A = this chain, B = another copy of it.
Amino acid sequence: MAQDKKQVEQITDMEVDFAKWFTDVCKKAELIDYSSIKGMFILRPYGYAIWENFQKILDEKFKETGHENVYLPMLIPESLLQKEKDHVEGFAPECAWVTMGGSEKLEERYCIRPTSETLFCEHYANIIHSHRDLPKLYNQWCSVLRWEKTSRPFLRHREFLWQEGHTMHATAEEAIAETERMFNIYADFCENYLAMPVVKGRKTDKEKFSGAEATYTVECMMHDKKALQAGTSHYFGDGFARAFDITFAGKDNQPHHPFQTSWGVSTRLIGGVIMTHGDNNGLVLPPRIAPTQVIIIPVAQHKEGVIAANEAVMARLKAAGIRVKMDASDNSPGWKFAEYEMKGVPLRLELGPKDIEKNQCVLARRDSGEKVFVSLDNIEETVKTMLDAVQQGLFDKAKRNLDENTYACATLEEVEEKMASQGGFAKTMWCGELACELKMKEEAGVSSRCIPLEQEHLGDTCACCGKPAKHMVYWGVAY
């Protein structure tokens, strides 16, 4: 047996040290590697293949809703970044600056884009003149750079891959509808593809994107009950348009400023998938985004006809549109089982000489460990049904985790006590004042996750100060 290639090593127990478990999975499932620059990671083929699946699904949804892809420069002149006051304050502290071109010192510093609102605004000022030029519905797939002090695979990279949508509209109503449309696409993507149930809401003023009037967010709960902000969609009003002097001639022939949105998700979502579904055997991938949905492992593969029978099943599954691979290497079955469990492949199909005689095979689910013998007749449909069951099973389990760890609290003390004993999301009434939000952070260690769109009336007064409440808010500890 050639097991020298790679030993399947133990990973840290997730209940003992979740953070260590997470980085172990990222490394051992070969999603990521480190580079020589702190905080800049390598997306290995398996990790990148997951991102490609995200891209394919989202790009189709963006195009279906009328968006077009573009590519803008990666560098922003410092003077351009400074045009919108709130925006520059938010991003300048974490910009990487280019100061030399070849051997010459540049006259002006350029930052590597941390996000591209300013570049899009500069371009829009050039191409938007009339109401006939609106809406502009652009999206960009690229990497951005934020010079963070700390880093973790997927969750906090100095450079990360993402998509950023930037749109311009003739009216505020239309722009707000776009902000909500894209936010709903993110929520749908998280729930129906990543099997990650979401809480949909708006950010408080404190947590809003720099320069935005409103930020919509989808918040997910990880296995360790911490929150992950999975995607955000921003409404800017005409603030940037004014700062960048973007005007169009309306139907009334008068100049107007257009209304703007931006929205983005990143490779951080891969971190969310790992932390939502993973277990002590490694990664667990929802079938809809798994690079390999079924791994076929021939049993007693040296015996006559075994490989051929396995290949025939593989061909049938492939023809049915299932992403399937076979491992007929000389590694031991035990090694192979552990390897594809680590990689989170949703289904394992085993087929040996006895199975061939009986016209059957074994299907083993990665999520539950359940193993069943099934007939090879109609194996395509059987596999598809089981993949759907895994997808649904993962969602249901994550939904239970979210529901069981979300609770109403009447006072700050109660939040503090529950967060210490249980973690998760505390929901309380809130007066809307920054002071109470800061106090919640200081005393209970939680930040506001969102003001959910689906409001509940838990009481009349703020859990913090006792003044009249304006909103119901979710609080939690966030990645």
Contact = CB atoms under 8 A, between A and B. Distances in A.
A459 interface: no
B75 A159 contact: yes
Interface string A321-335: 000000000000000
A309 interface: no
Given A69-B45, A101-B96, A74 B145 contact: yes
A110 interface: yes
A97 B133 CA distance: 38
Interface string A75-99: 1010010000000000001111111
Contacts of A2: 132
Contacts of A36: 77, 80, 122
Interface string A31-58: 0010111001111110011011000000
A327 to B, nearest CB: 14
B70 A42 contact: yes
Contacts of A51: 71
Interface stretch (A123-131, A374-382, A392-400): A123-131
Nearest to A2: B132
A33 B159 contact: no
A72 interface: yes
A205 B126 CA distance: 45
A101 B95 CA distance: 6
6 contacts: A4-B132, A41-B73, A42-B70, A51-B71, A75-B159, A97-B100
Interface residues of A, number: 56
A259 B73 CA distance: 34
A303 interface: no
A119 interface: yes
Contacts of A94: 102
A10 interface: no
Contacts of A71: 42-43, 48, 51, 143, 161
A162 to B, nearest CB: 12
3 cross-chain pairs, A with B, having the tightest CB-CB distances, nearest first: A45-B68, A97-B100, A40-B73
A122 B34 CA distance: 10
A5 interface: yes
A475 interface: no
B69 A49 contact: yes
Interface majority SS on A: helix, strand, loop or mixed? mixed
Given A98-B96, A122-B35, A138 B45 contact: yes
Contacts of A21: none
Interface core residue of A35, A48, A71, A132 (most chain B CB under 10 Å)? A71
A74 B127 CA distance: 30
A112 B127 contact: no
Contacts of A103: 93
A147 interface: yes
A132 B2 CA distance: 10
A3 to B, nearest CB: 11
A294 to B, nearest CB: 19
Contacts of A95: 102
Contacts of A138: 45
Highest count of chain B CB atoms <10 Å: which of A37, A43, A99: A37
Contact of A112 (B48, B112, B132): B112
A72 to B, nearest CB: 5
Contacts of A42: 70-73, 123
A348 B10 CA distance: 63
Contact of A68 (B49, B99, B112, B123): B49
Nearest to A97: B100
A141 B340 CA distance: 27
Interface in A1-32: 2, 4-5
A48 B74 CA distance: 15
A109 B101 CA distance: 12
Contacts of A73: 35, 37, 40-42, 159
